[in-house]
């Protein structure tokens, strides 16, 4: 790859959002929430009507993203920078992670998730939403394309978790041209093609989130909503990346710890200390 600083360019974006079953919302007389208080009120209304609101695969990564989405209600850009880049120490017992952990635990207690969610994998949670079993699925834009083609029996739409600036998400995979590449010109041509408006617009029409598309050429309503939501996040400097990024193998720590929280095998403080361990260990190993 060569030495020195590494630069890359992405061709797309991604973020975590709320997918919702419009038919189930309408049937239960529930409006689309615009604040977190309205979101929890909507979930409470579903529970009151005998409906488990949120499809969650807590056996895998979705539980960590749901947790991080809650933490971002109490976080700011400096917190994200410290957590992701080790610029400064992070107080894992501080407000963002304490709030997220306690809120997640409370939501399980209030019946927002199925009792067996800790045994549900990500793909099964996706399928349950596609089959109309739950009114809400908090998931990534990588699920969007499949929903366009698989959901036929009900009306659905999407919105970012309401009432906050920061959202779980990022640019996509970075493309780089290694110093030792034998044909750099060919690589540069590929980058030009991938980033050209024509290719980017085609990506949008296929259900993606491009960074250089002519969005006026996108007509599919769901795709327009998807890109409008992402562009709003960008304008607010709202991308907060992913909770497992800071340390190698961190996803296993997050999922395992949050499962122990949900099942009440460990307290909030114990879980946060457990989550802090690999982060602090990796920070101490950096030059």
Q: Are residues 201 and 62 in the same domain?
A: no
Q: Are residues 110 and 177 in the same domain?
A: no
pLDDT at 201: 96
Give 263: exposed, middle or buried? Use CB within 10 Å, 0-12, 13-18, 19+.
Answer: exposed
Q: Is residue 51 part of a domain?
A: yes
Q: Are residues 85 and 225 in the same domain?
A: no
- Residues in the chain with pLDDT < 50? none
pLDDT in tens, 183-211: 999 999 999 999 999 999 999 999 999 99
What distances in angstroms separate CA 191 from CA 3, 173, 188, 199, 223, one per listed residue? Answer: 21, 13, 5, 11, 24
* Inter-axis angle of helices 197-205 and 184-195, nearest 10: 50
pLDDT in tens, 73-113: 999 999 999 999 999 999 999 999 999 999 999 999 999 99
> Residue 166: which of 264, 100, 241 has the closest Cα?
241
The residue segments making up the domain with residue 60 are 13-170+239-282
Looking up residue 263, the CATH number of its domain turns out to be 3.40.190.10
Q: Are residues 202 and 181 in the same domain?
A: yes
Q: Are residues 72 and 20 in the same domain?
A: yes
Query: What pTM was estimated for this model as a whole?
Result: 0.94
Q: Are residues 85 and 203 in the same domain?
A: no
Q: Is residue 287 part of a domain?
A: no
pLDDT at 1: 67
Q: Are residues 108 and 146 in the same domain?
A: yes
Q: Is residue 210 part of a domain?
A: yes
Q: Are residues 222 and 100 in the same domain?
A: no
Mean predicted lDDT score pLDDT of the chain: 96
């Amino acid at each position: 790859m060569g030495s020195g600083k590494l630069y890359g360019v992405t061709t797309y974006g991604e973020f975590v959002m709320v997918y919702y079953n419009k038919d189930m919302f309408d049937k239960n007389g529930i409006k689309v929430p615009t604040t977190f208080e309205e979101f929890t009120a909507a979930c409470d209304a579903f529970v009151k009507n005998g409906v488990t609101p949120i499809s969650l695969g807590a056996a895998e990564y979705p539980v960590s993203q749901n947790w991080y989405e809650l933490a971002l209600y109490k976080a700011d850009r400096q917190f994200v920078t410290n957590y992701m880049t080790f610029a400064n120490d992070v107080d894992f017992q501080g407000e963002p992670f304490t709030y997220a952990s306690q809120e997640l635990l409370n939501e399980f207690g209030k019946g927002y998730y199925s009792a067996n969610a800790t045994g549900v994998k990500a793909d099964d949670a996706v399928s349950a939403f596609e089959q109309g079993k739950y009114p809400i699925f908090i998931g990534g834009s990588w699920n969007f394309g499949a929903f366009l083609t698989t959901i036929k029996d009900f009306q659905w739409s999407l919105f970012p978790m309401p009432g906050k600036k920061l959202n779980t998400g990022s640019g996509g995979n970075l493309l780089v041209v290694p110093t030792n590449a034998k044909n750099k010109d060919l690589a540069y041509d590929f980058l030009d093609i991938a980033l050209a408006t024509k290719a980017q617009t085609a990506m949008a029409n296929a259900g993606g989130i491009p960074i250089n598309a002519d969005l006026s050429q996108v007509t599919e309503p769901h795709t327009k909503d998807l890109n409008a939501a992402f562009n709003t996040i960008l304008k607010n400097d709202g991308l907060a990346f992913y909770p497992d990024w800071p340390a190698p193998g961190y996803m296993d720590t997050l999922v395992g710890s949050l499962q122990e929280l949900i099942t009440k095998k460990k307290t909030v403080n114990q879980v946060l200390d457990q989550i802090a361990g690999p982060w602090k260990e990796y920070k101490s190993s950096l030059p």
